[in-house]
Amino acid sequence: MGVNLSGIINGEKVNFDFLVGRTLVVDSYNIIYQFLSSIRQPDGTPLMDSRGHITSHLSGLFYRTINLIERGLKLIFVFDGEPPDFKELEIKRRKKIREEAKEKWEEAIKEGKLEEAKKYAKMSSSVSEEIINESKLLLTYLGLPVIQAKSEGEAQCAKICQDGNAFATASQDFDSLLFGSPRTIRNLSISRAEYLELIELAKLNYSREQLIMIALLVGTDYNPGIKGIGPKKALELVKKYRTIENLRKNMEWNFEIDIETLYYFFLEPPIFENYKIEFSSPQTEKIKKLLCDEHDFSEERVDKFLEKLEQVKKSGKQTSLLGF
């Protein structure tokens, strides 16, 4: 998922103290996918309730989000809207990869190869509509803003940051930078991460336009890229040809989508100019009903984390962190 620019982008290592009191806008699909991939049993099986419903996403969102709030972060969650038509091929490709991974996962379990099983299980992770709806519900009950994007969530995240309503986009992907987010924070969803990674668009050695061209050469969610070209080679080509027009003329683009269409989609993506950021008090009884009654979460542990939220409120941080 997303474009891989790790070969040419090195972020700054920061700790949580750096983010105390700051607002982050979360690429929800990305973080939910991370939870579904990582919160699993030793054989790769996701967390489930007694009825066989997956709960890894709820576990990650509830416990991790409260821990982040307790550390002093203020969070806004953005969900994807309607994907562009030219993403259809990529969606089909991902579905095929997940199906193949699921087959390999099941085969590895039968053969007792747990390490292989867990690897393929992560690759088989899928974010269903039910998972998305449950995630929105839980976040709403927690009193956190849930914003529906017009199209790509990262583009709406970038808009919110550009407007000064958030310090950075929280995502493992680099796409938010292509959509114009001034800053991106990585590793937020990793519970045992030794540090967070801050990437600031203005401090990179390349312009946003150059990053987009590099991404198109390497491959994005909308195009497969050009075989044999990684981030460093792509950077050389972008420096050589300088503009998207020259890049289009001099490179062989073996896919149906017009490269300039993709370029301008990143530069001027569909977004909502007007959106509401509303914080409210947590609805503890609804949270417990969703997690404990419907999905078999430990009531004792849920109560412990809800008490953390209450302590944030009592500490005097409520106005800045939870909007009470």
Q: pLDDT (tens digit, 9 = 90+) per residue, 37-51?
A: 999 988 889 999 999
Higher pLDDT, 1 or 119: 119
Indicate which CATH number applies to the domain containing 234: 1.10.150.20
- Per residue in 154-167, pLDDT (tens digit) is 999 999 999 999 99
Among 168, 188, 204, residue at a domain's last position: 204
- Report if residue 314 sits inside a domain: no
Are residue 53 and residue 153 in the same domain, yes or no? yes
Residue 4, amino acid: N
Site of tokens 């080509």: 237
> Are the CB atoms for 23 and 145 separated by under 8 Å?
no
Radius of gyration of the chain (CA): 20
Q: Over the chain, what is the mean pLDDT? A: 92
- Residue 324: is its pLDDT beyond 70? no
> Are the CB atoms for 322 and 306 separated by under 8 Å?
no
Task: Give the range of the structural domain holding residue 112, as residue numbers without chain letter.
Answer: 12-204
- Report if residue 287 sits inside a domain: no
The pTM of the full predicted model, rounded to 2 decimals, is 0.93
- Report if residue 158 sits inside a domain: yes
- Residue 318: is its pLDDT beyond 80? no
- Report if residue 308 sits inside a domain: no
Are residue 232 and residue 166 in the same domain, yes or no? no
Are residue 57 and residue 169 in the same domain, yes or no? yes
- In angstroms, the Cα distances linking 75 to 23, 31, 118, 187, 189 are 6, 13, 30, 15, 12
Q: What is the reported pLDDT for 191?
A: 74
- Per residue in 168-195, pLDDT (tens digit) is 999 999 999 999 999 999 999 887 777 8
pLDDT, average across residues 274-281 = 96
Are residue 23 and residue 162 in the same domain, yes or no? yes
Domain count, the chain: 2
| HSE, side-chain direction, 13 A CA sphere, residue 33 | 18
Among 181, 204, 227, residue at a domain's last position: 204
- Per residue in 231-261, pLDDT (tens digit) is 999 999 999 999 999 999 999 998 888 999 9
Are residue 240 and residue 147 in the same domain, yes or no? no
Higher pLDDT, 90 or 108: 108
- Report if residue 215 sits inside a domain: yes
Q: At what angle do helices 28-38 and 129-141 cross, to 10 degrees?
A: 110
> Are the CB atoms for 173 and 218 separated by under 8 Å?
no
Q: Environment class of residue 165 by beta-carbon count within 10 Å: exposed (0-12), middle (13-18) or buried (19+)?
A: middle
- Report if residue 59 sits inside a domain: yes
CA distance 47 to 60: 10
Are residue 17 and residue 120 in the same domain, yes or no? yes
Residue 51's Cα: distance from chain center in Å? 28
Are residue 143 and residue 28 in the same domain, yes or no? yes
Are residue 155 and residue 239 in the same domain, yes or no? no
Are residue 199 and residue 222 in the same domain, yes or no? no
Are residue 116 and residue 261 in the same domain, yes or no? no
Among 204, 219, 254, residue at a domain's last position: 204
- Report if residue 20 sits inside a domain: yes
Strands 196-200 and 146-148: unpaired
- Residue 316: is its pLDDT beyond 70? no
Are residue 192 and residue 106 in the same domain, yes or no? yes
Are residue 109 and residue 184 in the same domain, yes or no? yes
Indicate which CATH number applies to the domain containing 170: 3.40.50.1010
- Report if residue 321 sits inside a domain: no
Q: What is the reported pLDDT for 319?
A: 47
Q: What is the reported pLDDT for 1?
A: 62
Question: Among 196, 214, 197, which Cα is nearest to 205's?
Answer: 214
